[in-house]
Amino acid sequence: MQTKDYRINEHKKLTICHKNFINLYHYLGTARTLNEKEVFTLENSEGHLLGIAVFGLPASYGSMNKYGKDSLELRRFCLKNSEKNLGSWFLSRCLKVLKNKKIYRGIISYSDLEEGHIGTLYKATNFIYLGIEVNVNNKMFQLKGKRVGIRQAYNKNKQGNYYKSSVVIKNSKRVEVKPKERFFYPLNINKLDLEKLVKEYKDETILNSASY
């Protein structure tokens, strides 16, 4: 790839155009409730949108407590095409910008084993592997051919009204899914705290494996 053919722009909020792109190219197909703090777009030399990286508040309070309130989660990352090394190049540039801000402790991210994702992108950009998620609700709902969590289980009718999740759940099938793999990219965290974090998660993973 020729890096001169691409440019990266930084945004504070997602636009309608960005959300439509995520809806189209991200496997979850939704850009709702991302609590974005930092947004980066990848464009070609003609200004066409090719990719988006959304960093936001962690999706769960548990993650905030474990990683620190000044950590972000990579909430969405998607590309329009799969040119070799483009994804890792784009993500590494985003991480560099965030590190230079000196206000974020690190980046949390997950690979979805249910979708066949094994963290290739995170390994290529030097994320630290923290093992499999434990003590999480791995129950999802099969709704109109898609897997959704309880917070996503909303149905939009033609008038644009939303039904409560409990109503939708009655008409969907509950399924069990594989836990996700955890990754962490240190930005501005001291060495001792990082070592403590990694050890805590490794011990947690070993303990969880031994319980089966």
Q: How far apart are CA 28 and CA 49, in angstroms?
A: 19
11 against 145, higher pLDDT: 11
Tokens coding 92: 């590494």
Could you read off the pLDDT of 3-37 as tens digits, one per residue? 888 999 999 899 999 999 999 999 877 777 788 99
Could you read off the pLDDT of 150-163 as tens digits, one per residue? 555 554 433 444 44
Do residues 66 and 52 lie in contact, with contact meaning Cβ atoms separated by under 8 Å? Answer: no
Prediction pTM value: 0.79
Tokens coding 193: 């705290």
The number of C-alpha atoms within 13 Å of 192 and in the hemisphere containing its C-beta is 0
Q: What is the pLDDT of residue 203?
A: 67
